[in-house]
A and B are shown apart, each in its own frame.
Chain A
Amino acid sequence: MKPLIFTEEQDLLRQTARKFLDARSAPERVRELMDTGTGFAQDDWNEVAAMGWQAMAIPEEYGGAGYGWVEQSVLFEEHGRALFCAPYLSTVVLGASAVELAGSEEQRAELLGGVASGQRRLAVTAPADGVVGGAPVEVRGGALYGTARFVLDGHTADTLVVHAGTGGDESLYLVDGDADGLTREPMDVMDLTRKQATITLDGTQPSGRLEGAPARDVLEAVVTRAAVLLACESAGLSQRVLEMGVEYARTRKQFGRAIGSFQAIKHGLADVLVGTESAKSAAYHAARVLQEGDGEELAIAAPMAKARATQVAYEAAAYNIQVHGGIGFTWEHDAHLYFKRAKGAQLLFGVPSAWRARLADAVGF
């Protein structure tokens, strides 16, 4: 098993990513982008593609960088820290995984190559609560009919991967973002830094079909991967809000002393530290297991990471607001941005108790 600590190369990747995000995903920029309909900047997307971000876990034969999920997890951690606004989870984890697992060689070359170069953004009709069931969309006469909600970046993706069909004949269909009969509406999300859409298909012709593996199996795998990377993102977010809280507690004075000198605050932040380290361990382990491809261990590691890290991050972000007092409740202060992103990650693809149930099944109690 890969060690839980990072290599020099991975540390360098982190440093470069952090430097980029400090400059290009500072809070003012986050606020700017979250206010846009698309939720991201094409320039930033292109630039990170040039740095190899999207390509990190894509095999070289498809135009990728040939690294893996551990490297990608480092990036996700930094994204969480910086509230990076981009269709990254949707494209790099959901979409690329679906294509990798079920696409033909030609589809992989085209789509994964497009992802790696930054030229193709993908969205998948994955189940919002993480429970893979029947398809939300029907197929009639070769055309698609139906509605899917909570599609991450569904309204801006170049290509949609749509779960459609009934009973034994379900597939993941490829649909062009500008196909006839397709309407895409952004949803009113609480976390403006991660856009979601409702997509409606009315006689839409798919441009292709991913037939290399059963649709539900692919979606299970996609959801599991998303759980792991969300955990890593949450670990990074937790670390950042801990630092914010500590900085405020160090400098904010009331009653003639820094509020961090009061035991209640000191203890509270210490608790956030404990939680954050726990979250990191679970997240790092899951990323390594995903990379190794050990399915049995992944069935434990992924739920553990998702349940633990997203819960920790949420509580940490909530406590960060509390430490900041009134100012932490304002729109102007950044605390609420982290809080909402953390809450969203806690809910996305299943609440912690759902993932704990999966863990219990996997461990066997």
Chain B
Amino acid sequence: MSDQTTDGRALIDQRIQQLLDEAPPATTDDQEFWGRQFDLGLAWIQFPEGKGGLGLSPRHQKYIDKELTDAGANFRNKQLNLIGIGMGGGTLVAHGTDGQQDRWLRPMWTMEEFWCQLFSEPGAGSDLAGLSTSAVQDGDEWIVNGQKVWTTIAHISRWGMLVTRTDPDVPKHAGLTYFVVDMESDGVDVRPLYQITGEAEFNEVYFDDVHIPDENRIGEVGQGWSVSMATLMNERVAIGGGTPPRGSGAISHAVTAFKEHAAGDDVARDELARLWIEAEALRLTALRASENAKQGTPGPEGSTAKLNWADLNKEISSFTMELLGSEGMLLPGGYDFSRPELTANRTPSPHRLFLRARANSIEGGTSEIMRNILGERVLGLPGEPRVDKNVPWKQVPR
């Protein structure tokens, strides 16, 4: 039996050497470096050859990235074009045509073109499959009307991954089709969506008779739900990164606040200890989950992470404000109605993090939905009665 980790290592090392010889990071502009990296198959190692990869196990990527970073390369592209690189790429490889992959993968990787995800709608949050943005076929084009919400970087994106309803007469999951929309098309209107912190991390995107060529359809008509699932599965992989160090994140702010404002308060100390323990146990759970996953024996521990983290983050950040006492009544820097940079150069204050944390139990799956998933899919408990199952979408109350 071959060892997947060492298989291909020789080829990878050869390609790495070639990349560093041809495009030394110190003297090569980022975009050019990333371009060569793509061409040599080191961008997404698991993608097919010619599509930015070498068809090898994704486990190699960490090694590749480390070698390249040690040599002076950076991967700002993965951070700034997170949605495309983390989710769009995988979707195109799983469901896109050769032509679509050739058109979009490389400029996505080099960050020449930014990508956004157009899934959620005001009327389709937890019930994403209930979405109503419509795409009506017109010859070799589709005409799109509707509204998407919670779209990060829509304002600088060239392309969007768009899920639409193409058939209202069938049950919700069956009537969806996935497209890549050119964000520069006529009829696409991006507006900043201001949030509780005063900033606009997200956008609303309105579609008013937007024309999309059929060649930009990903997957079959009516296959939109499966393609979306591919996108979201990639999201889980993109977000689940390395294990942070002990005591980092929200709990670090709480500890600092305790030391500076509440040292000597035994009640606060006990509460802080309780939360520190929960945070550390969560961190260890993530570590255990990743070890199991690597070994190929994933257990339920991984599924509990998002729910656990979201509720705990709110609790810790709220407690931090109490530790700050009267200082917790402030918002350092005030409300500036701006779009924050994707890479935060400044570290947000605990006050701002406290406000931002309110969304943790909503975004990416509400805590209520997460509990349902754990109950039904992990624990195997009987599902909630579903009143819209097998009902044509247009007949479902909304």
Contacts and interface: CB of A to CB of B under 8 A. Distances in A.
Interface of A: 128-129, 149-150, 187-192, 196, 253-257, 262, 264-265, 318, 321-322, 325-332, 336, 339, 343-344, 346-348, 350-353, 357
Interface in B336-378: 351, 355, 358-359, 361-363, 366-368, 371
B362 A347 contact: no
B321 interface: yes
Nearest to B314: A318
Contact of B329 (A150, A255, A327, A328): A150
Interface-centre pick from A149, A318, A331, A348 (highest chain B CB count, 10 A): A331
B331 interface: yes
A328 B371 contact: no
Contacts of B41: none
A187 B198 CA distance: 17
Dominant secondary structure at the A interface: mixed
B361 A322 contact: yes
A353 B120 CA distance: 40
B371 A329 contact: no
A329 B196 contact: yes
A353 B268 contact: yes
B125 interface: yes
B336 to A, nearest CB: 10
Given A189-B330, A254-B130, A255-B386, A351 B325 contact: yes
B321 A325 contact: no
B384 A262 contact: yes
Nearest to A315: B318
Contacts of B335: 192
A187 B196 contact: no
Interface in B368-398: 368, 371, 384, 386-388, 391, 396-398
Nearest to A188: B334
Given A256-B397, A322-B358, 9 more contacts: A128-B326, A150-B326, A189-B331, A190-B331, A254-B127, A262-B384, A318-B358, A344-B329, A351-B325
B330 A326 contact: no
A327 B361 CA distance: 13
Nearest to B204: A330
B326 A348 contact: yes
B195 A330 contact: yes
Given A330-B193, A330-B195, A347-B321, A253 B397 contact: yes
A85 to B, nearest CB: 16
B309 interface: no
A335 to B, nearest CB: 8
A322 B359 CA distance: 8
Contacts of A344: 329
Contacts of A348: 326, 329
B326 A129 contact: yes
A253 to B, nearest CB: 5
23 contacts: A188-B334, A189-B331, A190-B351, A190-B355, A254-B130, A255-B387, A256-B397, A257-B397, A318-B314, A321-B358, A322-B366, A325-B362, A326-B120, A326-B149, A326-B362, A328-B362, A331-B194, A331-B196, A343-B318, A346-B322, A347-B321, A353-B265, A357-B267
B96 to A, nearest CB: 29
B328 interface: yes
Contact of B267 (A190, A191, A318, A353): A353
Q: What 5 A-B pairs have minimum CB-CB distances, sorted nearest first? A: A256-B388, A128-B326, A331-B194, A254-B127, A188-B334
A255 B195 CA distance: 26
A47 to B, nearest CB: 28
A57 B371 CA distance: 50
Contacts of A332: 194
B326 A347 contact: yes
B287 to A, nearest CB: 29
A346 B318 CA distance: 11
Contacts of B196: 321, 329-331, 336, 339
Contact of B125 (A150, A318, A326, A330): A326
B194 to A, nearest CB: 4
B242 interface: no
B241 interface: no
B384 A187 contact: no
B255 to A, nearest CB: 17
Interface in B1-25: none
B322 A347 contact: yes
A92 B193 CA distance: 38
Nearest to A337: B196
A339 B358 contact: yes
Nearest to B366: A325
Contacts of B142: none
B249 interface: no
A87 to B, nearest CB: 16
B245 interface: no
Contacts of A191: 329
B61 interface: no
Contacts of B363: 326
A348 B397 CA distance: 45
Given A326-B362, A331-B194, A339-B196, A254 B330 contact: no
Nearest to A329: B359
A188 B386 contact: no
A328 B366 CA distance: 12
A42 B196 CA distance: 28
Contacts of B329: 128, 150, 189-191, 196, 344, 347-348
Contacts of A257: 387-388, 397
B330 A190 contact: yes
Given A325-B362, A328-B362, A254 B126 contact: yes
A256 B396 contact: yes
A350 B326 CA distance: 7
A229 B359 CA distance: 31
B333 A188 contact: yes
Contact of B331 (A188, A326, A329, A330): A188
Interface in B130-186: 130, 149-150
Contacts of A357: 267
B120 A255 contact: no
B58 interface: no
A355 to B, nearest CB: 12
Nearest to A264: B368
